């Protein structure tokens, strides 16, 4: 299943502009609320210099980078948790995402902290509503003294402290990156002029070089990658195809195998692994085998960032 990053914020904060720039996908952008009613979904590549080095050495016919999926979710307004501005529909889209980028308009003279508060409050209030429905349902089934009722009541009381409750997929517990749509600032915040970024992505490589322009979107994509606590492993298929894959940190090789092909999970026999650092020291995978740099691992092996894996089935 693809990992999704939801782009959220108040109406007209720059969400669709970011989405268009980061996915290079044409979307409707206009200066009135609720332009995006159904979420736009797009996939963007994750730049990784290691894949380029693998490409240089293996010279495959095809090279495929890891990807992230971005979802452009319509602007939330105060009262969204009550259904204001189609709020319930938009909040349900957030629930399906693994992490969030909140875009905040930093161009206008306004209270940025208030923008953050509105979104955070709406997510919290929706979670309170969700928990209350769950508690009511369990009370009817198991009684008021149920251990699960006690657990959910405690989570509800401590929502603002972001108490660990990953099993509930609460909106306010999702990791968030705050992106300030405005001119570069010396503060420790992530600032991007999103309109400028959009214009840069529309230029050719030659035009960017001529104008001496570069985009900061790769940095943002990497920040999102880290936000999801992802690592990258690589596969090289018969010298024909080199591919990078995103994987949650501390996952085992069976989970990695399933990402490559669903059948690999059941048919997995063993894995042959070489670290990226060891790979840099050899001239070919054949040399890696002859020098003992490739190790054989079983089903319990925890994949490490930069592993190059061949799955034996």
Q: Domain boundaries in the chain?
A: 4-192, 250-312
Show the DSSP H helices in the chain as ranges: 15-23, 49-58, 87-95, 112-142, 147-157, 194-201, 205-211, 217-227, 253-260, 264-267, 276-280, 285-290
Give pLDDT tens digits along the chain (313 positions). 568 899 998 888 888 889 888 887 544 444 334 344 456 788 888 889 999 999 988 888 899 999 888 988 876 666 555 554 444 566 778 888 999 999 998 887 666 788 888 888 888 888 888 888 889 999 888 888 888 888 888 888 877 665 556 667 788 888 999 999 887 765 667 888 898 888 888 888 888 888 888 888 888 999 999 999 999 999 988 778 999 999 999 999 999 999 988 888 888 889 999 999 999 888 777 788 888 888 999 999 999 999 999 998 8
Residue 205: per-residue pLDDT: 82
Sequential DSSP letters for 97-147: -SEEEEEEE-SSSS-HHHHHHHHHHHHHHHHHHHHHHHHHHHHHHH-TT-H
Q: Which CATH architecture has domain 4-192?
A: 3-Layer(aba) Sandwich (3.40)
Given the candidates 1.10.10.10, 2.40.160.20, 3.40.50.1010, 3.10.20.30, the CATH classification of the domain at 250-312 is: 3.10.20.30
Q: What is the pLDDT of residue 185?
A: 67
Q: Do domains 4-192 and 250-312 have the same CATH topology?
A: no
* pLDDT at residue 167, as a whole number: 66
Q: What's residue 30's pLDDT?
A: 41
Residue 28 confidence (pLDDT): 42
The pLDDT of residue 6 is 93
Instruction: Give the residue carrying structure tokens 């999970």.
Output: 265
């Amino acid at each position: 299943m693809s990992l999704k990053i939801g782009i959220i914020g108040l109406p007209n904060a720059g969400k669709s502009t970011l989405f268009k720039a980061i996915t290079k996908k044409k979307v409707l952008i206009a200066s009135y609320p609720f332009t995006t009613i159904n979420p736009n979904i797009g996939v963007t590549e994750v730049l990784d210099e290691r894949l380029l080095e693998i490409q240089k050495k293996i010279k495959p016919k095809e090279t495929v980078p890891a990807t992230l999926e971005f979802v452009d979710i319509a602007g939330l307004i105060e009262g969204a948790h009550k259904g204001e501005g189609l709020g319930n529909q938009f909040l349900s889209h957030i629930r399906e995402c693994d992490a969030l980028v909140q875009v905040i308009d930093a161009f206008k003279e306004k209270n940025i902290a208030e923008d953050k508060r509105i979104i955070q409050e709406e997510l919290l209030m929706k979670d309170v509503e969700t928990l209350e429905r769950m508690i009511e349902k369990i009370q009817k089934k198991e009684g008021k003294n149920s251990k699960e009722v006690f657990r959910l009541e405690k989570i509800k009381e401590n929502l603002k402290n972001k108490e660990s409750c990953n099993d509930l997929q609460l909106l306010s517990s999702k990791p968030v990156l705050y992106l300030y749509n405005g001119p570069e600032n010396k503060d420790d915040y992530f600032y991007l002029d999103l309109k400028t970024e959009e214009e840069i992505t529309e230029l050719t490589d030659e035009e960017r070089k001529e104008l001496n322009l570069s985009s900061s979107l790769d940095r943002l994509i990497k920040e999102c990658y880290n936000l999801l606590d992802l690592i990258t492993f690589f596969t090289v298929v018969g010298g024909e195809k080199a591919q990078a894959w995103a994987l949650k940190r501390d996952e085992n090789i069976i989970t990695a195998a399933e990402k490559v092909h669903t059948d690999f999970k059941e048919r997995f026999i063993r894995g042959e692994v070489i670290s990226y650092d060891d790979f840099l020291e050899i001239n070919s995978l054949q040399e890696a085998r002859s020098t003992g740099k490739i190790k054989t691992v079983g089903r319990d092996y925890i994949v490490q960032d930069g592993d190059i894996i061949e799955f034996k089935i």
